[in-house]
Chain A
Amino acid sequence: SQKIEQNSEALNIQEGKTATLTCNYTNYSPAYLQWYRQDPGRGPVFLLLIRENEKEKRKERLKVTFDTTLKQSLFHITASQPADSATYLCAPVGQAGTALIFGKGTTLSVSS
């Protein structure tokens, strides 16, 4: 069955550092990979999407990579800020994706 793993449930870093979150998937060949941010008590918010033929995608301080050989996506937040503290979810999805399957998420805490 399809399996999605996100690195350690919690990641603690200091303000100004780069946070790197990992999303690994197995038994799956997604055409896209989506990343979401979820704050406590709120619904997830879409951040970025990367296609299988893209190696890297950037949006402001965010960068996502997609390695279909390793079956892995990395999500980077540079110059991290306390406001970046949240849970980040990845969702690999096929070309004909009718519904998203999410990883359990990684909770990022940025301390000042």
Chain B
Amino acid sequence: DGGITQSPKYLFRKEGQNVTLSCEQNLNHDAMYWYRQDPGQGLRLIYYSQIVNDFQKGDIAEGYSVSREKKESFPLTVTSAQKNPTAFYLCASRTGGFRGNQPQHFGDGTRLSIL
């Protein structure tokens, strides 16, 4: 079945460590997104990519980095510069183009906690 796979489901980070969250899709979508969800905060956009080898910062990009070397993959690195990384991270994708009528498809998230 086509879809988005995020791994791991749960992730623990020690202070000062960088961690990388995986996101893979087999929907042949051009655009991919990373969101952060905190209780009572809704979804906030971290980074997005419209095409391979290109990505843009979202509203809360500080302390995060991404790469888009392959169409299917959009990993997110939470760096030690991110002071409050505990959250639920969601990856999404959609077909390309600048059309607002395309829905986003989401993975089932990675929950990151600080040890």
Q: Which of A43, A46, A100 contacts B107 (CB 8 A)?
A: A43
B76 at interface by CB-CB < 8 Å: no
A98 partner residues in chain B, CB cutoff 8 A: 31, 48, 50, 56, 98
Stretch among A11-19, A55-63, A69-77, A87-95 lining the B interface: A87-95
Q: Which residues of chain A in 90-112 are interfacial with respect to chain B, using CB atoms and an 8 Å cutoff? A: 93-105
B114 at interface by CB-CB < 8 Å: no
B16 partner residues in chain A, CB cutoff 8 A: none
B99 partner residues in chain A, CB cutoff 8 A: 95-97
Chain A residue nearest in CB terms to B48: A99
A32 CA to B99 CA, complexed, in Å: 10
Q: Are A102 and B43 in contact (CB under 8 A)?
A: yes
A97 CA to B58 CA, complexed, in Å: 13
**Contact surface of B with A, Cβ cutoff 8 Å:** 4, 6, 31, 33, 35, 40-43, 45, 48, 50, 56, 58, 90, 92, 98-101, 103-109, 111
**Contact surface of A with B, Cβ cutoff 8 Å:** 9, 30-32, 34, 41-46, 49, 51, 89, 93-105
Nearest 5 A-B pairs (CB), nearest first?
Answer: A43-B106, A97-B100, A104-B42, A46-B103, A93-B100
